[in-house]
C-alpha cells in the first residue's frame, strides 16, 4: 500500500521529503485485557505532514503516546533516525527532538504565555542550578538567547500582544496556539499534533492550518497529526494512516485513502453517505 518511494523527492509545492525519520514496527499496546494497538507498522518521512485518522477510540492518541514515550508498547519497536530507540522516559524522548501538543490543552495554567513558551526551551538549558542562583554570566546569557528564539516564535504565531497574559485568562483558540508555540520553541525535528483543530470554528481552523503548513515549509519540521476534519486532513497531509479498533486499515496519499474500499467501509462511508 505504501507506494511512496524511500528516496528523496520534491513535492509539487517545492518541499523536499526524504528518508524515514521514524518507523513504528509491529507495535502492540495493551491495558490489562484491552488491546489498544494491535500490530501496527508505519513510518514517518523526514519533512512530510503525516496524518493519523480514524473513528473515536481507534487508538490514535495511544499511538501518539507511544511515539512520545508516554506509553511503552508490549511488543514491537520504534526506530528513530534509522536506529532502534531504547526504552526511554518521556523527558528523554523530548531531548531527542520530539515535541507535541495535546488533545485536551495541557498548558501550565499558573504561568504567563511567555513562561509557557519558554518551558519549550527547557531541553536546551545547559546552566546548572548553582549558576542560576547567581544569575549573572552563563545563566543570564542563556536566558536571553532562549528568549530571542521564543520571541521569533511568538512573532511567527502572532501572539505578541498576549505575551504577559496568564494562560488561564485566554480563550480556547488562543490556548491552542500557545500550545503550538510551546512545542515549536523546542525547535523539534518531529512535531506531534493531537487534534490541533478540535473545537475550533472555520476561521480558527484556517489560521491553524496556515500555521501548520508554514511550520512545515519554513522550518522543514516533520509533522504527524491527528485530526477529525476530513477536508483539513486531505488538504494538509502528504500521507495518511487510517486506524480502526486499534488496527491499521489503510495507509497512503489522501487520494489513495479516498478510494480505499476498506477505509470507506469502516470510516468514511459512514459519515459521507
CA distance 224 to 51: 6
Residue 17 near residue 47, CB atoms below 8 Å: yes
**Chain centroid, CA 84 distance in Å:** 20
Phi, psi of 36 (to 5 degrees): -90, -40
Site for another protein (CB under 8 A): which residue of 140, 204, 207, 229? 140
Query: What is the three-class DSSP state of 196?
Result: coil
In this chain, which of 24, 40, 78, 99 binds another protein, going by CB under 8 A? 99
* Interface with another protein, residue 226, by CB under 8 A: no
Tell the smallest beta-carbon distance from residue 234 to another protein (Å).
27
Contact 215, 122 (CB under 8 A): no
Phi, psi (rounded to 5 degrees) for 250 = -165, 155
Neighbours of 202 (CB within 10 A): 9
Tell me the closest approach of the beta carbon of residue 64 to another protein, in angstroms.
Answer: 9
DSSP conformational letter for 73: -
Binding to another protein in span 30-49, by CB under 8 A? 31
Give the pairing type, strands 247-252 and 239-244: antiparallel
When binding is defined by CB under 8 A, the residue of 50, 60, 100, 205 that contacts another protein is 100
Which of the ranges 1-9, 100-108, 233-241, 247-255 carries the binding residues for another protein, by CB under 8 A?
100-108
Count of positions on this chain that bind another protein (CB under 8 A) = 49
Indicate the residue among 151 and 204 with the shorter CB distance to another protein: 151
Q: What's the Rg (C-alpha) of the chain?
A: 19
Among 19, 57, 82, 90, binds another protein (CB under 8 A): 90
Q: Which of 28, 41, 103, 165 binds another protein (CB under 8 A)?
A: 103
Residue 135: count of CB within 10 angstroms of its CB: 11
Which stretch in 113-121, 206-214, 238-246, 258-266 sits in contact with another protein by CB under 8 A? 113-121
Minimum CB distance to another protein, residue 242 (Å): 23
Cell 483543530, located at residue: 197
Contact call for residue 133 and another protein (CB under 8 A)? yes
Q: Which of 139, 170, 232, 233 binds another protein (CB under 8 A)?
A: 139
- Residue 72 is a binding residue for another protein (CB under 8 A): no
Q: Return the residue of 65, 189, 216, 237 that touches another protein, per CB under 8 A.
A: 65
Phi/psi at 2 (nearest 5 deg)? -80, 95
User: Side-chain half-sphere of 195: how many Cα atoms within 13 Å?
Assistant: 16
> Binding to another protein by residue 189, rule CB under 8 A?
no
87 sits near another protein (criterion: CB under 8 A): no
Query: Grid cell 515549536 — which residue?
Result: 184
Distance of alpha carbon 17 from alpha carbon 97, whole angstroms: 18
Residue ranges that bind another protein, judged by CB under 8 A: 31, 61, 65, 68-70, 89-91, 93-95, 99-100, 102-104, 106-111, 115, 118-123, 125, 127, 129, 132-135, 139-140, 142-144, 146-148, 151, 182-183, 186
Amino acid at each position: 500500500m505504501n507506494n511512496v518511494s524511500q528516496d528523496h523527492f520534491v513535492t509539487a509545492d517545492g518541499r523536499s521529503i526524504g528518508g524515514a525519520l521514524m518507523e513504528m514496527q509491529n507495535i502492540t499496546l495493551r491495558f490489562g485485557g484491552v488491546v489498544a494497538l494491535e500490530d501496527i507498522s508505519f513510518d514517518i518521512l523526514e519533512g512530510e505532514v503525516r496524518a493519523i485518522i480514524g473513528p473515536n477510540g481507534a487508538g490514535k492518541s495511544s499511538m501518539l503516546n507511544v511515539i512520545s514515550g508516554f506509553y511503552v508498547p508490549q511488543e514491537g519497536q520504534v526506530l528513530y533516525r534509522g536506529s532502534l530507540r531504547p526504552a526511554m522516559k518521556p523527558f528523554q524522548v523530548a531531548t531527542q527532538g520530539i515535541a507535541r501538543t495535546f488533545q485536551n490543552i495541557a498548558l501550565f495554567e499558573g504561568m504567563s504565555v511567555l513562561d509557557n513558551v519558554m518551558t519549550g526551551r527547557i531541553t536546551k538549558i545547559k546552566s546548572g542550578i548553582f549558576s542560576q542562583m547567581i544569575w549573572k554570566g552563563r545563566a543570564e546569557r542563556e536566558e536571553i538567547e532562549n528568549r530571542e528564539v521564543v520571541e521569533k516564535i511568538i512573532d511567527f504565531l502572532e501572539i505578541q500582544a498576549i505575551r504577559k497574559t496568564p494562560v488561564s485568562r485566554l480563550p480556547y483558540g488562543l490556548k491552542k496556539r500557545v500550545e503550538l508555540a510551546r512545542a515549536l520553541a523546542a525547535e523539534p525535528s518531529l512535531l506531534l499534533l493531537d487534534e490541533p483543530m478540535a473545537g475550533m470554528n472555520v476561521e480558527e481552523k484556517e489560521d491553524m492550518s496556515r500555521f501548520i503548513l508554514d511550520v512545515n515549509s519554513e522550518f522543514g519540521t516533520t509533522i504527524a497529526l491527528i485530526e477529525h476534519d476530513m477536508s483539513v486532513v486531505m488538504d494538509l497531509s502528504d500521507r495518511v494512516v487510517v486506524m480502526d479498533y486499534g488496527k491499521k486499515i489503510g495507509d497512503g496519499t489522501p487520494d489513495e485513502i479516498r478510494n480505499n474500499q476498506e477505509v470507506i467501509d469502516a470510516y468514511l462511508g459512514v459519515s459521507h453517505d
